[in-house]
Amino acid sequence: MIKKDFGSIIANKRKDRKLSQPQLAALLCERGLDVKAHSISKWEKNVNLPNVLQFFALCEILEISDINRAFQIGTDEKLFSKLNDEGQAKVLDYMNLLMKSGEYIREEPIIYQFPRRTLSLYDLPVSAGTGQFLDSDRFSEIEVGDEVSSSADFGVRVCGDSMEPLYLDGQIIWIHKQETLEEGEIGVFFLDGDAYVKKYHQSDSGIQLISLNKKYAPIQVTSGSTLKTFGKVVG
């Protein structure tokens, strides 16, 4: 229900806007509502109440954006049942008007259903420190969604801190299978029996596997080393 001091609220808002009753009536008339100054006077004295169109036009002109708070309009569903037939009809008129305006319709949340897929997660971690073997026979299948890059082919866990702060000990990283990397890309490598996650660097002096953590020295790939690239880290 609307507060009993509805009239004083309207009067105060009108005065805040520095409008006289005739000026407010004129603004309502500009909106196609036939309202006289004496009608506004009756509203402000709580003799009469405006109809639904007049009420919303008043709120717009007087810049009352939060109608519920301004007038303490009750939202209890039991209130509707307490109204007589005429009152209930007016409530329905309000509702229909609001629906037709399109401005007060609750927006339904959009739920996006992203496709799920299954990727292999290898049980033994790749080293971000001393090097551990990536056993191709020990892995589990896990379901992933859009949080994992669409180019990922498998996942492994990081072991150690040599790739901090980008990759942490125990973190799952996702790999796209490819046999070669570009300069500066991070990948998973098999080197002389161990698997590493490192940054790839190639220069005139040869290939190095670089740690991001400066306390670890680069691993130099020698001419007698066995190096294989498992793929590039993509997430």
Residue 223 lies in a domain: yes
DSSP secondary-structure letter at 128?
S
The CATH code of the domain that includes 61 is: 1.10.260.40
Domain count, the chain: 2
* Residue 211 confidence (pLDDT): 92
122, 149: one domain: yes
Average pLDDT over residues 29-40: 86
* Burial class of 65 by CB neighbour count within 10 A (0 to 12, 13 to 18, 19+): exposed
97, 11: one domain: yes
**How many other CB atoms are there within 10 angstroms of residue 91's CB atom?**
13
- Single out the residue in 70, 101, 132 at which a domain terminates: 101
Per-residue model confidence as pLDDT tens digits over 83-139? 777 777 777 777 777 677 676 677 777 665 667 888 888 765 665 544 444 555 677
What residues pair up with 120 in beta bridges, in sequence order?
Answer: 141, 154
* Residue 207 confidence (pLDDT): 92
Task: Name the residue range of residue 228's domain.
Answer: 117-233
* Cβ proximity of 185 and 199 under 8 Å: yes
CA distance 96 to 141: 54
* Cβ proximity of 209 and 176 under 8 Å: no
Residue 107 lies in a domain: no
Coil, strand or helix: which one is 24? helix
Mention every residue, 6+ apart, whose C-beta is less than 8 A from residue 15: none
* Residue 181 confidence (pLDDT): 92
- Higher-pLDDT residue of 167 and 112 is 167
What residues pair up with 233 in beta bridges, in sequence order?
Answer: 175
CA distance 235 to 233: 6
DSSP secondary-structure letter at 213?
S
User: Is the pLDDT assigned to residue 204 strictly greater than 70?
Assistant: yes
- Packed helices 21-30 and 52-61: angle between N→C axes, nearest 10 degrees: 110
b/e sequence 115-137, b meaning 16+ C-beta within 10 Å: eeeebebbebbbbbbebbebeee
* Residue 48 confidence (pLDDT): 83
96, 144: one domain: no
DSSP character string of 86-122: HHHHHHHHHHHHHHHHSSSPPPPPP---PPPEEEEEE
64, 166: one domain: no
Residue 165 lies in a domain: yes
- At position 62, the amino acid (one-letter code) is L
137, 224: one domain: yes
The CATH code of the domain that includes 123 is: 2.10.109.10
- Single out the residue in 101, 133, 163 at which a domain terminates: 101
Six token digits for residue 174: 């996702």
Residue 111 lies in a domain: no
- pLDDT, averaged across the chain: 80
Coil, strand or helix: which one is 230? strand
